[in-house]
Every structure is written in structure tokens, then in C-alpha cells.
């Protein structure tokens, strides 16, 4: 196997090397033909001079189709003007798979066409950059929790009941046991984990049969959910702000080139440092009123409301203590005001909306049982969850961060559909 890759060329200046990859682009000017080679680690300008080559090689460099698979041999040169800083003075070209009529060309294509061709679209430089940032974010998330003594705790994906409301459940027949549901959140299981291991996190795919066709909604998305025993809402917010600072600063440090490819204005990301502003739902409603909105206390914020609120801040803002009536059954009420839930949502700046939802959990058996009944949830399916309040109950808190919304915000994208290799939306489940 030839494992020399474009990203490693700086150590091979002056040497003759052979690289394997694909033709990303090409152009020619008289006696010179340029091939841009891509191999997943970078882009390399390969220069074919007519004077240095036999005619067949020179002609082949002009004829080879976009996305053909090739082996290029030549001498590595430092060239500050070339993408990546190096170029190849090409001596040989072997086409190992000739591609003709590659459907995605450098011209503009519509989003539907590109989504139909997603299996090829992921080869484009923009998509490669986004997927590398996604990978770096995933690793930063894992490192953050691993370094702080959180244990990874994997929840099931097929579950017997709803976690985040019954209106967005995907249902599937389950042998003789009736129906199972694709998980909306690993949280309820993470709570069992926190009472066993102290601090845990779940990280995996979650599902919502969302009827929403917005730029923030997928039907399958990834969520990371930390959960901590002996932690209240303030501890939860402390964790959330330290976590966001870590993730954003890590990406700024390690993905500068990708963010450049994406033309991301990084000045706005540099601001993501502790402390993050904390305002109550009441204060958020005041902001909306001040801005002329006719929002009524007690409603949930829509995307447009979230944008208006976050415009007041140059970093993510934590909004806490929502009306309990619009929040999930498991949230603990504020002892100072029973109408409020000890909940927090983090709204990203620049109109990206809610990226984190979290809360302190109800830890009292009778109160929780009452809530399950009020929400008309099947008590039987929650017996195991109630056990967590029968045996060794403790105050505990956690949150969920949506990976795709976070990638979309950090990369500065228009839509979450570009943040995951194969997006699933209400109107799309292919390829
Ligand atoms: O606010 P949500 O519904 O919270 C929960 O699921 C809690 N159980 C989390 C917890 O406390 N452990 O979802 C959390 C986050 C949202 O803030 C958002 O970033 C993301 O998940 N999210 C979605 N992302 C993409 N598409 C969707 N349809 C999403 N729904 C939620
Ligand atoms: Mg939420």
C-alpha cells in the first residue's frame, strides 16, 4: 500500500513521490496542464509541462475526466501560491479508473439535485471541510467528558415509551411485544447511569418524527447528553458553558483551514468564552416585548423569537426557568415558583437557535408519578424510571446538545442537511 498522503508532503520536498487519488479539477494554458489531485487529506496542484513529458502523458493530463482515479508521480516543490502550499512537478500519470461525465461539476447545482447525489456530493471540498469539522467536534465532545470523569453510557435505540412528547415518535412493530419506538433522547437511561456511575454521557443517534421543514430540523440527528448526580440547575449551566467554550475553542484551534474553506467569520466564534449570559424566560419575554413582538407569556419560543432574543448577545445565551406547561414531564419545578420548570435552553448566536436543552430532573417519587399521569403517559412503561426515585434518589441534572445544529452554527451553514453524511428529513430518506 502506498500510504503517502497529500497532507504529509511538507516532509518530502525535493523528492520524487507517487500519490494516489482523484482528479478534482483541471485547467490548461498552452504548454502547461494543471490537475488538482484530491486524496481526502488535501488538494495538490500537479503541473504537467509539455517540454518535460512524452506526448501521451501530456495529452492524457488534458483528457482525463473529473473524478477519475489516478496515480501521479513527480517531484514535490514548495509553492506558496498553490492550494496547500506545495505542488507536484509531474513526470507520470496513470489513470486507474477513467470517469466520464461526473454529474457534479464546478457549476452551480440546486440542493435537491445535490441531495439526490449525496453519495458523490460528499467528495466536494466544502462537504469534506464540514465533515472534518463534524469529526473534530465529536472528538472534542468525547475528550471533554472523558477528561472530566464522565463515563460513556450507551442507551437503547429501540425503546418502550416516549421521552420528549408523544407527537414525534417513530413506531415500529416489535415481535409479540406490541410496538417499540425509536428513541427521542437517551436521557431517561442516562439518569439510571448517573445514579450508578455518578457522571455519565450518552452520545448517539436520536429520532423525531418532526413535521417541521425548517433549516434546523432532521428526523434523525445525533445528541450528546451528559447527566450528573448531586447536581442542580446551576451546576448544569456551569457545565454547559464550560463545554461550549471547549468545543468552539478546540475547533478554532484545530480546524482553521476548514473554516477558511467555508469562509466562516471566526471573529464571532472567538467570543464563545465563559461566562455566558444567563437570563430567565421572563427576561427573554421582556426582550421580545421591547423589540415590539406580540409574544404572550406562557408560549414557547419559535425560531424567529429565538433569533430576536439572541441578537441581544454576541455569544450563546442561556435561558432558564421556562413555564412548566411547555416543558417535559420529568423536569423539576422551581421551589420559588411552581409554575416554572428548572429548565435551560442555550440559544446560539447569529440566528442558529436552540442548540442545548436541559434541566434539573424531578427526583421525588410522588411528584413524578403525578406528572406521568398528568401527561397521560403509560405508568407501566415508566415503572423502571420511577424505581430511580424509589431507591437512592438524588438531585440530578443534565442536558442534550444537538450535534448537527452545533456543526451548522460553527461552520456558518444555511441548513443542517449539510452537517451529516446522509441527512434524514421529513421529505427525504435516500440515498
Ligand atoms: O431540547 P431537546 O428536545 O431535549 C432533550 O431531548 C432532553 N432529553 C435532553 C436532556 O436533557 N438530556 O433536544 C436537545 C437538543 C436541542 O437543543 C437541539 O439541539 C437538538 O437536540 N434537536 C434537534 N436537532 C435536529 N433536529 C431535530 N429535529 C432536533 N430536535 C432536537
Ligand atoms: Mg428543546
DSSP string, 223-242: EEEEEEET--HHHHHHHHHH
pLDDT over 90 at 163, yes or no: no
Distance 69 CA to ligand 1 centre (A): 41
Which one of the ligands is nearest to 212 CA?
1
Q: At what angle do helices 403-411 and 233-254 cross, to 10 degrees?
A: 50
Q: Is the pTM of this model over 0.85?
A: yes
Q: DSSP 3-state assignment of 29?
A: strand
Which pLDDT belongs to residue 258? 97
Residue that wins the pLDDT comparison between 96 and 2? 96
C-alpha cell, 48 = 504537467
Q: How confident is the model at residue 410 (pLDDT cuts 50, 70, 90)?
A: very high
Hey, which of 316, 357, 420 would you mutate to test ligand 1's pocket, going by the most ligand atoms within 8 Å of its Cβ?
357
CA distance 272 to 349: 10
Q: Do residues 144 and 246 touch, judged by C-beta distance below 8 A?
A: yes
Q: 136: pLDDT confidence band, cut at 50, 70 and 90?
A: very high
Q: What is the pLDDT of residue 166?
A: 83
The answer, yes or no, to whether residue 369 has pLDDT greater than 90, is yes
Closest residue CA from atom 2 of ligand 1:
357
**Nearest-angstrom CA–CA distance, 301 and 305:** 5
Q: Which helix (H) or strand (E) holds 321?
A: strand 317-323
Rounded to whole angstroms, the Cα distance separating 169 from 180 reads: 10
Cα(345)–Cα(325) distance, integer angstroms: 15
CA of 212 to the centre of ligand 1 (A): 14
CATH architecture observed for domain 118-419: 2-Layer Sandwich (3.30)
Residue 338 burial (10 A CB sphere; 0-12, 13-18, 19+): exposed
Pairing mode, strands 69-78 and 16-29: antiparallel
- The pairing of beta strand 171-173 with beta strand 179-182: antiparallel
CA of 94 from ligand 1 middle (Å) equals 49
pLDDT of residue 99: 98
DSSP state of 428: B
Enumerate the CATH 2.40.50.140 domain ranges in the chain, comma separated.
6-97
User: Which residue ranges does the chain devote to CATH 3.30.930.10?
Assistant: 118-419
pLDDT band at 137 (very low <50, low <70, confident <90, very high): very high
Report pLDDT for 106: 84
Which of the four CATH numbers 3.20.20.60, 3.90.79.10, 2.60.120.1440, 2.40.50.140 does domain 6-97 have?
A: 2.40.50.140
**Nearest in space to 37 (alpha carbons), one of 63, 68, 13, 3:** 68
Residue closest to 314 by CA, chosen among 268, 267, 252, 259: 268
Amino acid at each position: 500500500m502506498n500510504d503517502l498522503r497529500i497532507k504529509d508532503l511538507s516532509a518530502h520536498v525535493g523528492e520524487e513521490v507517487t500519490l494516489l487519488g482523484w482528479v478534482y479539477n483541471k485547467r490548461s494554458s498552452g504548454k502547461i496542464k494543471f490537475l488538482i489531485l484530491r486524496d481526502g487529506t488535501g488538494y495538490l496542484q500537479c503541473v504537467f509541462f509539455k517540454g518535460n513529458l512524452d506526448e501521451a502523458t501530456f495529452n492524457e493530463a488534458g483528457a482525463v475526466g473529473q473524478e477519475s482515479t489516478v496515480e501521479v508521480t513527480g517531484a514535490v516543490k514548495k509553492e506558496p501560491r498553490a492550494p496547500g502550499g506545495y505542488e507536484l512537478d509531474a513526470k507520470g500519470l496513470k489513470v486507474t479508473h477513467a470517469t466520464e461525465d461526473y454529474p457534479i461539476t464546478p457549476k452551480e447545482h440546486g440542493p435537491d439535485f445535490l441531495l439526490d447525489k449525496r453519495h458523490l456530493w460528499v467528495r466536494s471540498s466544502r462537504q469534506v471541510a464540514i465533515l472534518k469539522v463534524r469529526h473534530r467536534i465529536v472528538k472534542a465532545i468525547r475528550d471533554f467528558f472523558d477528561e472530566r470523569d464522565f463515563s460513556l453510557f450507551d442507551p437503547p435505540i429501540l425503546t418502550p415509551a416516549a421521552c420528549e412528547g408523544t407527537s414525534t415518535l417513530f413506531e415500529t412493530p416489535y415481535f409479540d411485544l406490541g410496538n417499540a419506538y425509536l428513541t427521542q433522547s437517551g436521557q431517561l437511561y442516562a439518569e439510571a447511569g448517573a445514579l450508578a456511575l455518578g457522571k455519565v454521557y450518552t452520545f448517539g443517534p436520536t429520532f423525531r418524527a418532526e413535521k417541521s421543514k425548517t433549516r434546523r430540523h432532521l428526523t434523525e440527528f445525533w445528541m450528546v447528553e451528559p447527566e450528573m448526580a448531586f447536581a442542580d440547575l446551576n451546576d448544569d449551566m456551569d457545565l454547559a458553558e464550560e463545554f461550549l467554550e471547549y468545543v468552539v475553542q478546540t475547533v478554532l484551534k484545530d480546524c482553521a483551514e476548514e473554516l477558511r474553506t467555508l469562509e466562516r467569520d471566526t471573529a464571532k466564534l472567538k467570543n464563545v468564552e465563559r461566562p455566558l449570559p444567563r437570563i430567565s424566560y421572563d427576561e427573554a419575554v421582556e426582550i421580545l416585548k421591547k423589540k415590539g413582538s406580540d409574544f404572550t407569556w406562557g408560549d414557547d419560543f419559535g425560531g424567529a423569537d429565538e433569533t430576536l432574543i439572541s441578537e441581544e448577545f454576541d455569544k450563546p445565551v442561556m435561558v432558564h426557568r421556562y413555564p412548566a406547561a411547555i416543558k417535559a414531564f420529568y423536569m423539576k419545578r422551581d421551589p420559588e415558583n411552581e409554575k416554572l420548570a428548572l429548565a435551560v435552553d442555550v440559544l446560539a448566536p447569529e440566528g442558529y437557535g436552540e442548540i442545548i436543552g436541559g434541566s434539573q430532573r424531578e427526583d421525588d417519587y410522588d411528584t413524578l408519578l403525578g406528572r406521568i399521569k398528568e401527561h397521560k403517559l403509560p405508568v407501566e412503561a415508566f415503572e423502571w424510571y420511577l424505581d430511580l426515585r424509589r431507591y437512592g434518589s438524588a438531585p440530578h441534572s443534565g442536558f442534550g446538545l444537538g450535534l448537527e445544529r452545533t456543526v451548522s452554527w460553527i461552520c456558518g451553514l444555511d441548513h443542517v442537511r449539510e452537517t451529516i453524511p446522509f441527512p434524514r428529513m421529513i421529505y427525504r430518506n435516500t440515498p
